[in-house]
Structure 1
Amino acid sequence: MIAVNQFRRAEKLELDVQFDGDAPPVLVIPGLLANDGTTSLLRRTLAASGFPTYPSGFGLLTGVTPQRLEKARLRLAEMHERHKERAVIVGWSLGGIYARVLAQRHPDLIKMVVTLGSPFSGDPHANNAWRIYNALNDHTVSEPNLPDDPSVKPPVHTVAIWSQADGVIAPECAMGEGVERDAEYLVNIPHMAFGSGKRAAAIVTRIVSSELKNA
């Protein structure tokens, strides 16, 4: 685990940290009640570091649906055809649930999963967003609209980035258990900054670059 005080130094990271090697494509998925506009800085930072980067194309994300999962699969297949390389998925909050499920289903298309404050582990009612999710959907966090279990580690390299200062997602739910991910990083970032903050974008880019050596 990387301690929060170590990553405070990452505030000084430049946005054009270069990936050492042939960078795989990256698909970035936003969180609940967010869209691709909210992850534009993160995607630009990844792109400036050499990663071919793609938005989800989901529009406003309100829940998990089979239609969006299929749309993501098609996008991943197109990315694979274009780059001849499996993709990295970076999923913020609810987007991380999509990322883990997609990697469970399609490891042939995905090289690594990175979740940012995503509630993939433990009790979904331990988080502050479950009432909003339930109100927006025809299913609940207790009875999700998919047969998959997001807590099961996908058969690809899986990284969880979490924060004690999250404020929305309980830290233990975003960190997960040892059997549920390969690596985890503790950072001092509020939940709403994970996908849109300059400091967060630099930290996430550095972690993606570093962890690809293990993927």
Structure 2
Amino acid sequence: MPAVPRRPSPAALLTEPPRAGLDVAALAAAWPLLAAARRGDGHPVLVLPGLMTGDPATAVLRTALRALGHDVSGWSLGTNRGPTGRVVDTLRARLERLHRTSGRRVSLVGWSLGGLYAQELARAAPGSVRGLVTLGTPVARPAPWVRTASAIADAGAHLLPGAAALPRPWAQRGSLRVPATSVYTRADGIVHWSSCRYEVRARRENVEVRGSHLGLACNPAVLWLLADRLGMAEGAWAPFRPPPGLGLLFPRRR
């Protein structure tokens, strides 16, 4: 059974910025290693940012994935301020367009709140989605703080036009019928790691990395894992296994 989700510690929250700086420094040192990562097959990949961030926050991640042969798109919607009607409609239309124009299913990568969007897109249109990877996203249920957030959002829905157009991600409406990987760090100061773990079942997994929440999009372990997950042939999903020599980047604690 997954652990009961909790809130991050104040210390973890306060140290997020400097620890994210360490993740960036680690990436600079590990960048040459990415040349040996699994290559992509050119299928479309849509990357969704976290709350109050935008495409600049995922620029390094998208650059690395393009260098590995992936056809990567940012979300192109400015700052992520929540599931407004514009966000919902645009993401649904973009997923459909990427699928239609490429003739291939789309992989979704979502960071924090962006991961909740990715789940909802995958639930709504599983035929268009090849798989998804979430980074520091509260995918577990039930989480007390998430229920509180839901109540607040519902109470203030009239203040945010279009918010009701997207099913509440924390409501877990419908089944998730595509392969899904949740990446988390126990040092996360924004979302407690216990909220970021799926109940393990077929084609669903949790992978722990070392680092901060704010640094997940430039964490070398995350980039290696994304290359591995996105580089798998469609229909050939298998659980992630760290390569020899990189095991320290992926703790195996339960």
Q: What TM-score results when the alignment is normalised by the length of structure 2?
A: 0.67
Superposition deviation, residue 175 in structure 1:
1.2
Alignment of 1:10-49 (within 5 A): 12=30, 14-17=33-36, 19-20=38-39, 22-49=41-68
Please point out which of 124, 138, 149 is paired with 2:156: 138
Deviations 1:167-210 (A, max 9, x none): 11111111122259711101112000112x25255234334246
Matching residue of 2:226 = 205
Please point out which of 169, 191, 194 is paired with 2:213: 191
Structure 2: how far apart are the matches of 1:153 and 1:200? 29
1:177 has 2:199 as partner: yes
Superposition deviation, residue 147 in structure 1:
3.0
C-alpha RMSD of matched pairs (Å): 3.3
Count of matched residue pairs:
200
Matched residue type, 1:101: E
Structure 2: how far apart are the matches of 1:96 and 1:164? 18
Which portions of structure 1, spanning 4 or more consecutive aligned residues, are displaced by more than 4 angstroms?
A: 123-127
Matched residue type, 2:124: R
Matched residue type, 2:82: G
Please point out which of 115, 121, 135 is paired with 1:96: 115
Structure 2: how far apart are the matches of 1:70 and 1:16? 37
CA contact (8 A) 2:198 2:205 kept: no
1:51 has 2:70 as partner: yes
- CA gap of 1:181–1:94, structure 2 versus 1, over 3 A, is farther
CA contact (8 A) 1:153 1:180 kept: no
SS at match of 2:214: helix
Tell me whether 145-154 or 104-113 shows the greater mean CA deviation. Answer: 145-154
CA contact (8 A) 2:209 2:222 kept: no
Deviations 1:54-76 (A, max 9, x none): 00112111212343122112111
Structure 2: how far apart are the matches of 1:53 and 1:70? 20
Structure 2: how far apart are the matches of 1:210 and 1:168? 29
SS at match of 1:178: coil
Deviations 1:15-65 (A, max 9, x none): 344545623210000001100110010001111110000001121112123
CA contact (8 A) 1:90 1:113 kept: yes
CA contact (8 A) 1:160 1:183 kept: yes
Alignment of 1:108-123 (within 5 A): 108-123=127-142
CA contact (8 A) 1:24 1:85 kept: yes
Structure 2: how far apart are the matches of 1:165 and 1:211? 29
Matching residue of 2:93 = 74
- CA gap of 1:124–1:191, structure 2 versus 1, over 3 A, is same
Larger Rg: 2
CA contact (8 A) 1:32 1:93 kept: yes
Structure 2: how far apart are the matches of 1:211 and 1:170? 29
Tell me whether 60-69 or 186-195 shows the greater mean CA deviation. Answer: 60-69
- CA gap of 1:18–1:180, structure 2 versus 1, over 3 A, is closer
Matched residue type, 1:203: W
Question: What fraction of aligned residue pairs are identical, expressed as a percent?
Answer: 28
Matched residue type, 1:63: G
